């Protein structure tokens, strides 16, 4: 399977076309994001570290469904739920997506448990407990938590997330539309990303700039006194919209690189 090499400017094109898809059905994409967030929170609350693994297990299935929705919208088709779920009724596709998720979960746990330092230094735990012994968040307890956070852990987590995201970027699409086996889909995904690393850097930089602009806008809004639940809700919607735009861009990048389509 040949991965087309695109210019670095393609990354910006992916975001533009991704947003064009998102804005056609924003409610759908935001709803999908909230469903996923709810599933993630519940899984982690009930199962702890196994919940994280269960989330990773079904993540390729979830992304594949988003890609199906994106495909229908891009092609101007009516969103028929029966047709949207049709590929997932095929045992081979569903099995491959779950195997890919299993591999993702195992790698994620290995990186998180064995190669990422603890977020909070164990030696600082007594100080945190002592600072918050009254059960309320005070200045002392807040400062104790902030000072105990290990920045290396945050950096490692971000790096791990970026690497895994890039490695798995094309995996759901390759399994969904090309019936590629899980291991091969990971290999092909890596090849596609590496051949177009310039485009991915362009997209990432654009994403960061847009995200930073949104953050600055939120600071301005906060400075004029618009705070509270409403502000938090709007902030969440904006960032979710940006994230779902990236998922839509994922579909466009797959079309251009592996289907040689516009």
Q: Where are the domains of the chain?
A: 19-194
Convert the pLDDT of each residue in 190-205 to its tens digit. 999 999 999 999 999 9
Using pLDDT thresholds of 50, 70 and 90, give the confidence band for residue 137: very low
The tokens for 28 are 């759908």
Mean residue pLDDT across the chain: 83
Yes or no: say if 21 and 70 are a contact pair by the CB < 8 Å rule: yes
Distance of CA 123 to the CA centre of its chain: 33
Yes or no: say if 251 and 257 are a contact pair by the CB < 8 Å rule: no
Q: What angle do CA 197, 177, 254 make, to 5 degrees?
A: 20
Q: What angle do CA 27, 29, 32 make, to 5 degrees?
A: 105
Neighbours of 232 (CB within 10 A): 11
- According to the model, what pLDDT value does residue 213 have? 81
Element holding 95 (H helix, E strand): helix 91-114
Which residues, in sequence order, are CB contacts of 186 under 8 Å at separation 6+? 100, 103, 167, 168, 171
**Unique residue bearing structure tokens 């759908």:** 28
Convert the pLDDT of each residue in 26-45 to its tens digit. 999 999 999 988 888 888 78
Yes or no: say if 4 and 260 are a contact pair by the CB < 8 Å rule: yes
The SS3 of residue 121 is: coil
Which residues, in sequence order, are CB contacts of 212 under 8 Å at separation 6+? none
Concatenate the DSSP letters of all residues of 179-231 into one string.
Answer: ---HHHHHHHHHHHHHHTHHHHHHHHHHHHHHHHHHHHHHHHHHHTT--SHHH
- For the chain, how far is it from start to end, CA to CA, in angstroms? 18
Convert the pLDDT of each residue in 61-90 to its tens digit. 999 999 999 999 999 998 898 999 999 999
Distance between CA 29 and CA 47 in Å, rounded? 27
pTM score over 0.85: no
């Amino acid at each position: 399977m040949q991965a087309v090499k695109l210019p670095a400017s393609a990354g910006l094109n992916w975001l533009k076309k991704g947003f064009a898809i998102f804005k056609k059905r924003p409610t759908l994409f935001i709803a999908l994001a909230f469903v996923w967030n709810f599933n993630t929170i519940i899984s982690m609350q009930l199962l702890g570290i196994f919940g994280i693994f269960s989330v990773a297990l079904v993540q390729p299935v979830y992304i594949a469904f988003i890609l199906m929705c994106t495909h229908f919208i891009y092609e101007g088709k009516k969103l028929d739920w029966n047709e949207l779920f049709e590929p997932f009724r095929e045992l081979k596709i569903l099995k491959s997506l779950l195997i890919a998720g299993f591999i993702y979960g195992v790698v994620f746990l290995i990186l998180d448990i064995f190669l990422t330092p603890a977020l909070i230094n164990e030696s600082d735990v007594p100080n945190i407990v002592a600072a918050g012994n009254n059960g309320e968040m005070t200045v002392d307890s807040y400062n104790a938590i902030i000072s105990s956070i290990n920045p290396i852990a945050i950096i490692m987590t971000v790096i791990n997330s970026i690497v895994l995201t890039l490695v798995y970027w094309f995996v759901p699409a390759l399994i969904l539309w090309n019936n590629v086996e899980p291991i091969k889909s990971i290999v092909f995904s890596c090849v596609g990303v590496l051949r177009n690393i310039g485009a991915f850097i362009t997209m990432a930089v654009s994403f960061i700039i847009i995200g930073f602009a949104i953050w600055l806008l939120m600071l301005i809004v906060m400075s004029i006194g618009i705070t509270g639940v409403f502000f938090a809700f709007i902030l969440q919607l904006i960032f979710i919209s940006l994230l779902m735009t990236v998922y839509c861009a994922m579909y466009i990048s797959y079309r251009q690189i592996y289907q040689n389509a516009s």
